[in-house]
Amino acid sequence: MEAMKSKANCVQNSSCTIMIFHPTEEEFNDFDKYIAYMESQGAHRAGLAKVIPPRGWKARQTYDDISDILIAAPLQQVVSGKKATTVGEYRQLANSGKYQTPPHSDFEDLERKYWKTRLYDSPIYGADISGSLTLGELAGHWSCLRVL
């Protein structure tokens, strides 16, 4: 396989960060080859990567003809009224036998277990919190309070 010319934001990704790729139009047109290139750069180590399509690329010319596309198995998150909980109580719940990270041999095994159990239990997550866990100088632009 010949080497891809576009550059990722780091080489071999030893820190497992999410990498960003900017493929050329030619590279973008060969999905399998570009995915192989991304993996050769270490993108798989983080579990996902960001790919910015070449300038001018569009997913489709128009969205006028999508009304009749069938969604065979739509998923719906059911919101039920749970009582309020503190972050400490939430931490206890997250670390409990039911919700803790299951034993796994590697990240592929963990991902497989996640998707295998995803439809059987609804996840619990902390939305609509009154404060922020990302305050101060260290949080910078990542502070949830900055996006409100």
What pLDDT digit, counting tens, does each position of 14-23 carry? Answer: 777 788 999 9
pLDDT 10s digits, 31-54 = 889 999 999 998 888 888 888 888
Q: What is the average per-residue pLDDT within 1-11?
A: 44
pTM metric for this prediction: 0.41
- Residue whose tokens read 């949830």: 144
CB 56 within 8 A of CB 87: no
In this predicted structure, which of 28-42, 62-76, 124-138 has the lowest mean pLDDT? 124-138
Beta strands in 4-134 (DSSP E): 19-21, 49-51
8 by DSSP, 3-state: which? Answer: strand
DSSP conformation class of 44: G
148 vs 145: CA distance, rounded Å: 6
Q: What is the average per-residue pLDDT within 76-80?
A: 62
